[in-house]
Amino acid sequence: MSGIISREKICFLTAPTPMHRLDRLSGELGVDFWMKRDDLTDFGTGGNKLRKLEYFLKDALDQGATMLLTVGGAQTNHGRLTAAVAAKYGLRSAIVAVDPYPGEISANLLLDGIMDCHVYLAQKREGQDENGLLRETVKKVTEEWESKGEKVYYIPMGGSNELGALGYYDCALEMARQAREAGLDDPRAVVTVGSMGTYMGLAAAFANEKIPMRLTGIGILPYRDIRKSAADYYARMRQAHDLPVSLSPEDFDLTSEYDCGAYNNPVKEVREAIYMMGRMEGIILDPCYTGKTFSAVLQMIREGKISRGETVIMLHTGGVPGIYTLHHRLEMEKELADHIHIL
């Protein structure tokens, strides 16, 4: 890592990832629209979590771990990429989710199995505390594998803690170099906010490395107070890495206005945004994260919250396997049926 933080990682990504202008969309939207392609990272079909896993892997191997265990939904992208890194480095992997069986082994679940990752779906009973059930199941799975001789290393949901966020501290420095080389003047970076680790790594670097870019975070799940959550996360980052800059809730450009009421829910305007990106630029977005973020960008342009002529760099965080999950796929199949012609 360059910059003011010094922390070792295992470098397994081909970086920098591309950052290019989307010419047709720029003309259509009236903004200078760019995309940073972190969906094109190297393993497990790619995605943003791999930058975080460079740090987790180093820590795990330093502790003598033989197995990576993480948590998320049944179709977690982070879990898939944890499985990919484990496979590459000869480790076992497991995912724990408090989720019902989705009715089929598709999308990320299918990819998890291909990479020999074991997925544990804990079934919540009425009145049961979900967080408590998750902790209990993680403990049970850890004990099961350690009884077989494995040493389990736990990675939090989304890889979003003070260590994982460093992956996007690195990415911020990379984006700053690319923007400077492209001659971009005062660009706005736009990123999805789920478990917040990606956003926080960028925000910490923008502030502490004095990067001349604005950062806007689009919440894709309901937050009680998204700016307070960011300030609390940053306080932990600052303490862990001895960062000089202090930030308060109002310093974070974050919005929950476009979360569409729930996490990973099928939404018509999000699907329309996915179709627009695919039909104008040949880039595939996913319905949970990047599709919802691009839909928010389109609304912000219409509402004047993003100005005409402004330079916007959207970070593509991956997640494309989400298109193939049953509840999203069925909606798309209905809408796209007229594109199939049987002769």
Predicted confidence (pLDDT) per residue in 229-266, tens digit: 999 999 999 999 999 999 999 999 999 999 999 999 99
Q: What is the pTM of this model?
A: 0.96
Which residues, including other chains, have CB under 8 Å from residue 93's CB and lie 6 or more apart? 67, 68, 69, 70, 82, 83, 86, 87, 115, 116, 117, 118
Last residue of a domain, one of 129, 159, 189: 159
Query: Residues 132, 263: one domain?
Result: no
- pLDDT of 178 reads 98
Q: Over the stretch 58-97, which tens digit does the pLDDT of each residue have?
A: 999 999 999 999 999 999 999 999 999 999 999 999 999 9
What number is the average pLDDT over the span 304-332?
Answer: 97
Query: Residues 280, 216: one domain?
Result: yes
Looking at the domain assignment, is residue 269 inside a domain? yes
Q: Which residues of 290-311 are buried (b: 16+ CB within 10 A; e: fewer)?
A: bbbbbbbbbebbeeeebeeebb
- pLDDT of 2 reads 58
Whether residue 1 has pLDDT greater than 60: no
* Both tokens assigned to 30: 């009236």
Looking at the domain assignment, is residue 182 inside a domain? yes
Cα–Cα distance for residue pair 122/125, rounded to 1 Å: 10
Q: Over the stretch 209-225, which tens digit does the pLDDT of each residue have?
A: 999 999 999 999 999 99
Query: Residues 193, 324: one domain?
Result: yes
How many domains does the structure of the chain reveal?
2
Q: Residue for token digits 């265990």? A: 69
8 Å CB contact between 196 and 156: no
Domain interval for residue 178: 19-47+161-339
User: CATH number for the domain including 68?
Assistant: 3.40.50.1100
- pLDDT of 263 reads 95
